[in-house]
Structures are given as structure tokens and as C-alpha cells.
Amino acid sequence: MDVADLGLPVDVPSTALFTDQYEFTMVQAALKSGTADRRSVFEVFTRRLPEGRRYGVVAGTGRLLDAVENFRFDAGVLGFLREAGIVDEPTLAWLADYRFSGNIWGYPEGEVYFPGSPILRVEGSFAECVLLETVILSVLNHDSAIAAAASRMSSAAAGRRLIEMGARRTHELAAVAASRAAYVGGFDSTSDLAAGFRYAIPTVGTSAHAFTLLHDSERGAFRAQVDSLGRGTTLLVDTYDVAEAVRTAVEVAGPELGAVRIDSGDLLLVAHRVRRQLDELGAVDTRIVVTSDLDEYAIASLAAAPVDAYGVGTQLVTGSGHPTCSMVYKLVARARSADPAAPLEPVAKKSLGGKMSIGGRKWAARRLDEHGVAEAEVVGLGEVPAELADRQLLVPLVTAGEVVGREPLDAARDRHIAARSALPMSAIQLSRGEPVLPTEYA
């Protein structure tokens, strides 16, 4: 479905204020000191994965490209910066013409990552690059956290359908991004209509307990739903007594009933009972959807239960215990001028206390063993060794200010499944462990 012509009610006209104030004051001070146009390289990476996680998942790249493209200063934004006294007039004049003109490379969306992976590399003048820090990190830290949880859940679901239904548990626009990231991580559909609208993710949904309670009887509610949505609909059977509801559901809809949904109780036990009852009633093709406080562990524990689809809310949109990643955006190299010929000098924070980083513009490649299974994330400076040349991870996303890395969301979703499949088998264990690949510095 083409959504391009429908307008974008969940977009915003400018992303320029999704920015920490210090980015602006640094630009002002650098403009004054003559360092603003020094050629610079910033990189995004994490020092660690969330505790116990085996791999991370890059998500949000498509949104990030939108954010960079829309990072502009109109009169309203400039007026605010002036009135609030954030920056001076020369800086406002510079901002008025702002348009990112540099280059961005990154791990493509859906790719996996490890501690130290240079997930994104932003090159240009110091001033044009530093301004993008906050919004780039917001997008990647949020979306990658959701995609990582989604990926674990989709491993656990082992091919059964996964429905994202967490909108009500997170900020209304974070929810739209969460649906998108969940899709990248392997989910099949969403309850969130804004995500359907904005990203053409398949949407699903039929009814809640309120609909049953609204009617004078459960039978009346089921009849009303089937009359309106057809026999293929999903009837919610746990408002009163489940066995009674299943019997009524099949009486009302016939054995063609599409599905029943169970939203409370011991799902393992109830799913077995309901399956048996449906089969006895002849509704052998009626599916069972479960939706109560699921996470990847609960999904895994239902592997042997007769469940056809899982609806996941809270634990998905909160990253299953890890609602954010710890990605940072660091200046790793800079020249002493804007001259393309001026050498890039590696730079890095040196102070003690665990926040060290490694200076220099990096490449990254994933080395495979003789069976084609990934065995190391290799990160290096300078020339890429010949044997890793075709295993490089960074791809061009923005070239001379033009977005070149846009792709359909399904490409990211397919890439994630392929990248995860190429990891050692232990990657998809849910138990806590070390990153499944070591990061080697070449």
C-alpha cells in the first residue's frame, strides 16, 4: 500500500529541536573560535550490551534518515532560539542555512551488533555533525532496544505469529516507532493504526472485554461481533467463564470461527483445554491467540501449547527489561581545518572511570569460520585486510548530504533474520550470557 500521499500526521515538520542545548552552544563557541568547520568524524557505538544479552539489533535507521533530512531551521524555530537566548545572532544566521552536507555510513538496519561495533559514522564539519548527536541517539537507542526484545521474542515464537500491541504502555509516538522496530525484529503485525498508516505494517484487532460487558449477554456480544466482522473474527473468551464462552462462540459463529483470544489465567493450561474443546466442537481450524503479559520467556514456555499467535505489549515496548541501549556518539577524529587534505587526527577522552573510547575512523567486518558461521566482529583503523574486504558492515546512508540508504522496511526485516541466522546457535538462547561474538581490534 502506498502511504506517501496520505500526509504524515505522526511526523513533525522539523527535527531540529530534538536536540540538547549544548549542541547549539558548542556550535556557537566553535564558530567564534574558528574551529566549527574542522573536518570531523563522529561514531556511534556501545561499550556493552544490556546485561546477559547475546547480540544487539540495529533499528531506526530509516527514521534516522528522515530525521537528518528534516533537520532544518524555520522562522519559528529560529525565533524560539533567539527569544530564549540560546545562541547569538551569528549562530542563528548559520543555522538558518543549515543542511547536513556530509557523509553517513552505518550498519544497515536489521543488522546485529556487539560492544564496540561502529554502528554509525558521521563525517563532515564539526558543527554540522555535532548538532545531530541527540536526535541520532534518540532514534537508535530507542528503536534498537525494542528490536532486540522483538528479536528474542521472534526466536522464541519459532514461526508462530507475533502481534505487537503495546501502544498503550508507551508514549503514543514512541509506540509507532516501537511497532516499526518490532517488525524489523520479526513481528508480523501491530494493533497500532498509526504504525499501519505511517509504515504500512499490517494491523489487526477485533474486540476487548468492554465490548462483551457493553452487551446484555456474552452471546449478544459475540452475535454482534460476528454480524459485523464475520465468522473469521477473533472472539475474546475470558470475560466470564472460558468454557462457556468457547461453547457460545462456536454456537454463534459455527466451526468457521477464525480464532479465540485468551487474555488471562494460566495460559498453558487454558490453551490446552480450549484447543480440546474447540476440536470436540468441530472447530478444528479455529486458532488460539494468547495475550496476557507475555515476554520471550513466557512465549518459550508456551512452545508445546496449542497456541497459534502471541500478542505482546508491555514487555515488547519496554525492551523486555532494557528500554534503552547505551549507544553514545563520540568525536573520534578531526582535522585542524576544513581542508580535505588536512590529516584526520584520532581523538579520545582520556579521563579514568570507565568511559574510555578508542580514537580514529573505524571499519568493521564480521569474520566467518570455515562453515560460514560468524566467529568475530573485527573493528580496525586504516586499511581493511583483503580477506575481510567483502565482509564489511558499514554501508553508505548519506553521501554529500543526500540520503542514499533508504530501503523498504521488509528489507531490514529480512536482513535481521539472515544476520541472526548466521550467528552461532547460542545467539538465540534466552538465558543470560556473554555476547555471542567477541569484538577483536585489528
Q: Is 120 one of the binding residues for its own copies (CB under 8 A)? A: no
Total number of residues shown for the chain = 442
Q: Is 148 one of the binding residues for its own copies (CB under 8 A)? A: no
Q: Is 417 one of the binding residues for its own copies (CB under 8 A)? A: no
Q: Is 48 one of the binding residues for its own copies (CB under 8 A)? A: no
CA–CA distance, 206 with 328 (Å, rounded to integer): 41
Distances (CA, A) of 33 to 28, 287, 304, 343: 9, 67, 66, 20
Binding range to its own copies, per CB under 8 A, among 50-58, 71-79, 364-372, 422-430: 71-79
Please tell me what DSSP assigns to residue 428: G
Dig out the grid coordinates for 30 from the structure.
Answer: 566553535
CB of residue 13 to its own copies, shortest distance in Å: 5
* For its own copies, the closer CB: 118 or 420: 118
Number of neighbouring beta carbons within 10 Å of residue 26: 18
Candidate residues 89, 216, 387, 390; the one interacting with its own copies per rule CB under 8 A: 216
Place of cell 488460539: 288
Q: Is 23 one of the binding residues for its own copies (CB under 8 A)? A: yes
Q: Is 26 one of the binding residues for its own copies (CB under 8 A)? A: yes
Q: Is 81 one of the binding residues for its own copies (CB under 8 A)? A: yes
Candidate residues 47, 48, 355, 406; the one interacting with its own copies per rule CB under 8 A: 355
CB of residue 399 to its own copies, shortest distance in Å: 23
CB of residue 53 to its own copies, shortest distance in Å: 16
String of DSSP letters for 216-239: SSHHHHHHHHHHHH-TTSEEE--S
* For its own copies, the closer CB: 127 or 156: 127
> At a CB cut-off of 8 Å and minimum separation 6, what does 140 contact?
44, 58, 59, 60, 61, 64, 119, 120, 325, 327
Q: Residue count at the site for its own copies (CB under 8 A)? A: 121
CA–CA distance, 209 with 213 (Å, rounded to integer): 6
Q: Is 228 one of the binding residues for its own copies (CB under 8 A)? A: yes
According to CB under 8 A, which residues from 241 to 270 bind its own copies?
241-242, 263-266
Q: Is 126 one of the binding residues for its own copies (CB under 8 A)? A: yes
- φ and ψ of 403, to 5 deg: -70, 125
Candidate residues 238, 295, 296, 377; the one interacting with its own copies per rule CB under 8 A: 238
CB of residue 388 to its own copies, shortest distance in Å: 29
Candidate residues 159, 340, 343, 354; the one interacting with its own copies per rule CB under 8 A: 354
Pairing of strands 161-164, 309-312: parallel
Q: Is 318 one of the binding residues for its own copies (CB under 8 A)? A: yes
Pairing of strands 259-262, 287-290: parallel
Closest CA to 157 of 297, 313, 264, 270: 297
Candidate residues 12, 96, 158, 404; the one interacting with its own copies per rule CB under 8 A: 12
Q: Is 442 one of the binding residues for its own copies (CB under 8 A)? A: no
CB of residue 5 to its own copies, shortest distance in Å: 9
Pairing of strands 328-334, 39-45: antiparallel
According to CB under 8 A, which residues from 372 to 401 bind its own copies?
none
CA–CA distance, 12 with 76 (Å, rounded to integer): 13
CB of residue 255 to its own copies, shortest distance in Å: 21
Candidate residues 260, 283, 317, 397; the one interacting with its own copies per rule CB under 8 A: 317
* For its own copies, the closer CB: 37 or 407: 37
* For its own copies, the closer CB: 106 or 428: 106
Strand order in the sheet with 395-399: 345-346, 328-334, 39-45, 120-125, 103-106, 395-399, 402-403
Q: Is 324 one of the binding residues for its own copies (CB under 8 A)? A: yes
CA–CA distance, 151 with 49 (Å, rounded to integer): 15
Dig out the grid coordinates for 149 from the structure.
Answer: 526484545
Q: Is 33 one of the binding residues for its own copies (CB under 8 A)? A: yes
> At a CB cut-off of 8 Å and minimum separation 6, what does 348 contact?
330, 332, 356, 357, 358, 359
CA–CA distance, 440 with 379 (Å, rounded to integer): 6
Candidate residues 51, 341, 350, 425; the one interacting with its own copies per rule CB under 8 A: 350
Please tell me what DSSP assigns to residue 362: E
According to CB under 8 A, which residues from 152 to 211 bind its own copies?
165, 167-178, 191-194, 196-197, 203-211
Candidate residues 268, 347, 358, 384; the one interacting with its own copies per rule CB under 8 A: 347
Dig out the grid coordinates for 355 from the structure.
Answer: 568511559
Binding range to its own copies, per CB under 8 A, among 137-145, 279-287, 398-406, 411-419: 137-145
Candidate residues 336, 337, 429, 433; the one interacting with its own copies per rule CB under 8 A: 336
Q: Is 92 one of the binding residues for its own copies (CB under 8 A)? A: no
Could you tell me if 243 and 281 are in contact, meaning their C-beta atoms sit under 8 angstroms apart? no
Number of neighbouring beta carbons within 10 Å of residue 338: 14
